[in-house]
Structure 1
């Protein structure tokens, strides 16, 4: 056996084992062709351990993204689809193996402190950038590469799985979603109800309505028209969902086509508990005033809303901790 030469970072421990328990092995024939065929990264098939699906990720000439050369890089990856709901994470301890085909034992590679690794949405892979130098690996006297064939293995123990009790995801909309809607109110002078609402209209996946108070409300009661924008499907929102919207409301000048005197802008967060925003005092209530401004024609009042969704927040809630007893299973390819 040749002298084994390793770089030994503080976090890697290497030892020899005669018959370790392995949950998965991968046998690679014609190993040298990986590099010749520009296969810089190889992912194995999936295998199950602790109720989750895993795979090995092998860089036969080193992980170039980590500036590694002249070494084999080896990682354990969890199937991303298993990390549901958002925020879920799996804690696991794992070991890698490399078969010495001459002495029929195994080089064992593991964390020095045998610490758990957290697999989650932002960190799906854990492993080692420099598992073994290629010079040591390719030296036939060491038994790791014999007749251009090698065998890697892995053992995975899931210790626990958990999710944050509560969290949220803020999504800023790169290409903002905008829509306009026109609400026509006829027989304005005969309106008697405190509030009138428009048909619903869509902006993105959310439904909205315009609310008109012909006699005002709050500080505008009796002297002003009040106008508000409201979520029409607030009952369908999940708990914690919030929509940040910028909106402009106008009473249209039906004579001259100019609207600046009856236009207001707002930016607000909308949610199931805060589903309506706007103005108690939008414009003076007097019919003569509205008529002179071209806003009331043939006793018809026209309101336009322009709504732009800029951001959405969704929250997640799930059990905080579940301990898992590991099960042994073995796969081979």
Structure 2
């Protein structure tokens, strides 16, 4: 007579308390970084149509948002800026009075304990929407982003953000050599203690669509496939991460998160730096759209998704769900 196997996996699932005792992964408010979009003007709080619950905020309304973030227990924000002026060199990105620099100074005044991460890129500030300087070849007439000349402007941007008080520099441009250039620039300017959260593995993804509405950063011609990664490539992702580690990165990011959790796990297993997952705009918007239609339970889906990112190996998660998730984790409705 066959006996039932003595291994019964259900034994450790009999009660909530028992499940809590053996739970392998925990999600905490301390895992979250909350992105904020700051703009010029006054009394501006404009909801981004493709990202319900996310707003363009003018400086005079930013303080209320920061107070709300702090009240949830979130310890870090990621600042993006929408400039008044755009030009071919993205000069507003590295201006001492640029919108991001203004926001950094204000946030550090209102909430000095909050860790301020500054996105370091040019795409929101250039009139062509690319992440570097665009050169047109005389013979072919083909326009392309010039890698090496773009590095100088990215260094200027990073230094200006650190000078404004940014706690972490997060370069998202995907130029070759950007981590080394920014590290040397920060060190030379006296900011050797400011860490770099590198967008090490940033794929050329369709998941960025709503963000480009939010940041007004869609390229005016072509695409970003020559500098952002092919979604099909995993080994190349490891090469990108290894390069950034050698150049002095302090944290490694994978963007987007949801379709690339295999890459998150590989970075976590292979390297010893903190891994950051960016839960990007379309991942957020799809959940919001489905919840608005009554197709899903938003709270359950969001917390399960973020937990999955943490289980895959993310130490930190950049997410537009952060404030809601923080309240849900505290038991608030």
TM-score, normalisation: structure 2:
0.19
Decide which structure has greater strand share.
Answer: 1
Structure label with greater radius of gyration? 1
TM-score, normalisation: structure 1:
0.19
